[in-house]
Structure 1
Amino acid sequence: MNKGIQTIIYPVQDLAKSKTLFGRLLGVEPTADTPYYVGFSVGGQDIGLDPNGHRHGQNGPTAYHHVDDIEGTVQALLEAGAEMVQDIEGVGDGKRIAVLKDMDGNIIGLTQTP
Structure 2
Amino acid sequence: MSPTIRAQVVPVSDIAAAKAVYTALYGEPHTDTPYYVGFDAGGFEVSLAPGDTSGGPVAYADVDDLEAARQALLDAGATERTPPQPIGPEARVCVLDDADGNAIGLRGK
Q: CA RMSD in A?
A: 1.5
Is residue 85 of structure 2 the alignment partner of residue 86 of structure 1?
Answer: no
Structure-2 change in CA distance of 1:93 and 1:58 (3 Å): farther
Measure the CA separation in 2 of the matches of 1:2 and 1:70.
13
Report runs of 4+ in structure 1 exceeding 3 Å deviation.
Answer: none
**So what's the TM-score if we normalise by structure 1?**
0.87
For structure 2, list consecutive stretches of 5 or more residues without a partner in the other structure: none
C-alpha separation in 1, matches of 2:54 and 2:95: 10
Query: Which residue of structure 1 aligns with residue 44 of structure 2?
Result: 45
Residue aligned with 1:18, SS: helix
TM-score (norm 2): 0.91
> 1:11 corresponds to which residue?
11
CA displacement at 1:3 relative to structure 2: 3.3
SS in 2 for 1:29: coil
Tell me the number of residue pairs that the alignment of Structure 1 and Structure 2 aligns: 109
Partner of 1:2: 2
Unaligned runs of at least 5 residues, structure 1: none
- Between the aligned residues of both structures, percent identity stands at 44
Equivalent position of 1:109 in the other structure: 105
